Amino acid sequence: MNPLEDWQNDLAQHARLVMEKAYAPYSRFQVGAALLSQCGTIVTGCNVENCSYGLTICAERNAATSAVTQGLMRWKAIAIATVGGVAPCGACRQFLAEFAPDMLVILIDASNKTDPTIMSLAELLPHSFSPAKLNDYRSQP
């Protein structure tokens, strides 16, 4: 059963499409991310690998940096498409939490073997490090 609302299915479709753009010749693991801003704009990203493996950039962070580049820093949700519908890595969770710690995360199995799952970023990254914590530190005497 597909538990998603129409707007969530639309976001998922963007994630599926951009997954095909992934540059992943080393892992062969393609990831597509579609981020929805609070004003309703969808910004997408795919993973981009490099022969110097550590330079690889995840799909979620590519979508996030594109959104910020477009001046969009308030986010409602992100859909992530992979074979298997896996959850984002820890680095991407932290990167997203900088801007939208309570956003929705929609996981899409591009092979359609499992149903989409939906959760909040706060569930995926409890007790996250946040800009507010730095501000608390800076305001100490």
Catalytic residues: 60
Binder of ligand THU out of 12, 35, 42, 58 (CB under 6 A): 58
Residue 70 interacts with ligand THU (CB under 6 A)?
Answer: no
Candidate ranges 35-43, 56-64, 103-111, 127-135; the one touching ligand THU (CB under 6 A):
56-64
In the complex with ligand THU, the residue whose CB is nearer, 27 or 111, is 27
How far apart CA 32 and CA 60 sit, in angstroms, is 8
Residue 56 within binding range of ligand THU, rule CB under 6 A: yes
Per-position x/- string for 85-124, each x denoting binding to ligand THU as judged by CB under 6 A, each - no binding: ---xx--x--------------------------------
Phi and psi torsions of 123, nearest 5°: -70, -35
Distance of CA 126 to the CA centre of its chain: 16
The DSSP output letter for 84 is T
Closest by CA to 28, choosing from 49, 42, 14, is: 49
Does 50 contact ligand THU by CB under 6 A? no
Q: Determine which residue in the list 49, 64, 72, 116 makes contact with ligand THU, applying CB under 6 A.
A: 49
If you search the block for the tokens 């493996």, which residue do you land on?
A: 53
Per the structure block, which two tokens stand in for 24? 């992943």
Crossing angle for the helix pair 59-69 and 90-97, to the nearest 10 degrees? 20
Where do contacts with ligand THU occur on this chain (CB under 6 A)?
24, 27, 29, 31, 47, 49, 56, 58-60, 88-89, 92
